[in-house]
Amino acid sequence: MTEARHAIAYRFRKSALLGGVFLLAMMNAGNVSAEWTLLEGDAVDLATERLVYRERHSMGQGSDGRWIMESDYLDAQGELFAERTVWFDPQYPQRPDYRLIDYRDNFEEGATTLSNGDVELYRIIDGERSQTTIAPSKKRPLVIDAGFSALIATRWDELLAGERVTFDFASSARLTTIEFRLSRENGRAEEGVERFILEPSNWFVRMLVKPIVLTYSSQNKTLIGYEGLSNIRKDGGGNHTVQITFPQSHQFSMRQLPSD
């Protein structure tokens, strides 16, 4: 599929979804936002500095109050190879439901919050589904997939004051949680931005993996840069290590969600 054909397919899929939203709006007037925010970012390999894929994100609000983020992943030639859908529940903004499908080998992973508050993680490899259910810790917040921004938004003042936030990250690929810590980066000040360091809490694991650097706009509290391990896998195994940049003035956020 060429870039032009993908763009047509992308608009058609979005139009179909919006058509459903408008239908729900007619049934539940005032409950649905038909405005979608769009955001694009290029993922560049940190070692080779070459473009490895492009992300296209769109976000809107469903009739049930949940914010829906749809992500398309295109390779350097413009071919769509993976898609992700994330559903943000206002009750659990830091641990959304999500589903990621990689069409290159039909790999799939995802997470769903159950009615009792537990979370089901699953992955599908070679058509075989594996899953597990985890109970969120009462000591640390649980973060899932794109829930990082909600966590940072709720702890913004604490992080800027120099406090460190510890949380559990749910890894669907590994069917387990990993304890991470988040802190403000020091020593590289830049006007208008704040950088945060994301790294494993375990000191031994920190020796083996590089931290992830998250760059946010100071004004909008929106993600404008990502540097580190990606959620997209390489053909030869493992995940890409990339730098992704987004426009500094973008308004792609979920500020309408409750702070807690």
- What would the DSSP string read from start to end of 36-60? EEEEEEEEEETTT--EEEEEEEEEE
Ordered by start, the domain boundaries in the chain are: 3-245
pLDDT band at residue 253 under the 50/70/90 scheme: low
Displacement of CA 39 from its chain's centroid (Å): 13
CB atoms under 10 Å from CB of 184, counted, come to 17
Is 232 a residue whose pLDDT tops 60? yes
Cα–Cα nearest to 243, from 46, 72, 40: 46
The amino acid occupying position 53 is: Y
Strand partners, 215: 195, 225
Contact predicate 134/143, CB 8 Å: no
Cα–Cα distance, 3 to 207 (Å, whole number): 41
Q: What is the pLDDT of residue 19?
A: 34
Phi, psi of 79 (to 5 degrees): -85, 130
Contact predicate 55/73, CB 8 Å: yes
Q: Taking CA 188 as the corner, what is the angle to CA 185 and CA 213, rounded to the nearest 5 degrees?
A: 45
Structure tokens at 71: 């992500």
Q: Please compute the mean of the pLDDT values over residues 151-166 and round it to a whole number.
A: 94
User: Of all helices (H) and strands (E), which one includes residue 15?
Assistant: helix 3-27
Q: What is the pLDDT of residue 206?
A: 81
Q: What is the pLDDT of residues 21-75, one digit of tens each?
A: 322 222 233 344 456 778 999 999 999 999 999 999 998 888 777 889 999 999 9
Structure tokens at 2: 């060429």
The amino acid occupying position 99 is: R
Q: What is the pLDDT of residues 79-124, one digit of tens each?
A: 999 999 999 988 888 999 999 999 999 999 999 999 999 999 999 9
Instruction: Supply the DSSP string of 181-206, one letter for each residue.
Output: EEEE--S---TTEEEEEEEESSHHHH
Structure tokens at 97: 């439901």
